[in-house]
Amino acid sequence: MKAILDRDIIISITIKGDTEIGTIPAEKKGVGLERLRFDGEKIVDLADLAELWVEAVAPNFVVFHAIEVPGSQKVTMTYQDRTRLTVDSGIIRLKTPAEITAEAEHMEKTMTKNRLRQAFKRDIGDPEDSLADAWKIIALLIIYMRTGEPAIATFLDSILPDLQAAYPFTTVKDALANNVKTIKTLMEGYYTETQKK
C-alpha cells in the first residue's frame, strides 16, 4: 500500500503515493489518518504510544509525530493527554494539575461574568444605564449629606438590605483593596506621563 507522506504524517493512501507503508493493522481499520503515522517501518497509532514527538507550528497549535522531526520535542504523554499541552518559554510540556484547576476556575469566572453582563443588559439595560444608576445613588448620598432630607434617608434605608446582599462587605472589601492598589499604580504612571507633556 502506497501513500503520500509529510514526514511521518500520512496525507493520503493512494496508488500515486511515493512511499510504500505496508498495510493498516486489522484492529486499526476504523482509525482516522489524523491519528496514524508511518515510522519508516510500519504504520503506528499515536494512541498506542507513551511518548510523542510534538512540533509547535503556531501559537496554540501543535502537530504530533511518532518519530523525531526537525523542531519537535519528545514529551512523555499519551494521545489522550493532548488537550493538556502547553508551550512554556519554548518548552512543550503537560500542564500541571494546579494549572488545569486555575484555568478551569478562570473559565468559570469568565462565564459567570458573561452571564451577569447578559442579565444586566436584559433586566437593567446597557452598561451606561447601570453606571447611570450608580451615579444616581452617589448623587442621593451627596444630597442627603448636605441637606439631611428625610425622604432620601427613608429611601436609602429601604434599599439597604438589597445593597448589603448584593455587595457583602467581606467580599467587597477584598476586591476594592486589590483594585485600589492597581488603580494607584496605573494613576501614578498616568500622572507621570501627562506631566511630561
Domain-wise residue ranges, the chain: 2-95, 167-197
Express each pLDDT in 126-182 by its tens digit. Answer: 666 667 778 888 999 999 999 999 999 999 999 999 888 988 888 888 888 888 888
Handedness of CA 179, 183, 186, 188 (dihedral sign): negative
Length of the chain: 197
Query: Alpha-carbon distance 4 to 9, whole Å?
Result: 9
Cα–Cα distance between 89 and 96 in angstroms, integer? 15
Rounded to whole angstroms, how far apart are CA atoms 186 and 106?
A: 23
**Predicted confidence band at 37 (pLDDT cuts at 50, 70, 90)?**
very high
Q: Mean pLDDT across the stretch 34-39?
A: 96
Distance in angstroms (rounded) separating the CA atoms of residues 80 and 118: 35
Residue 141: which residues within 8 A CB-CB, separation 6 or more?
156
Three-state SS for 125?
Answer: coil
Q: What is the dihedral of CA 141, 145, 150, 153, to 10 degrees?
A: 40
Residue recorded with cell 502506497: 2
Q: Residue 59 has what pLDDT?
A: 80
Lowest mean pLDDT among 86-90, 102-106, 154-158, 183-187: 183-187
Residue 64, burial from CB neighbour count under 10 angstroms (0-12, 13-18, 19+): buried
DSSP one-letter code for 1: -
C-alpha–C-alpha distance, residues 68 and 39, integer Å: 9
pTM given for the model: 0.58
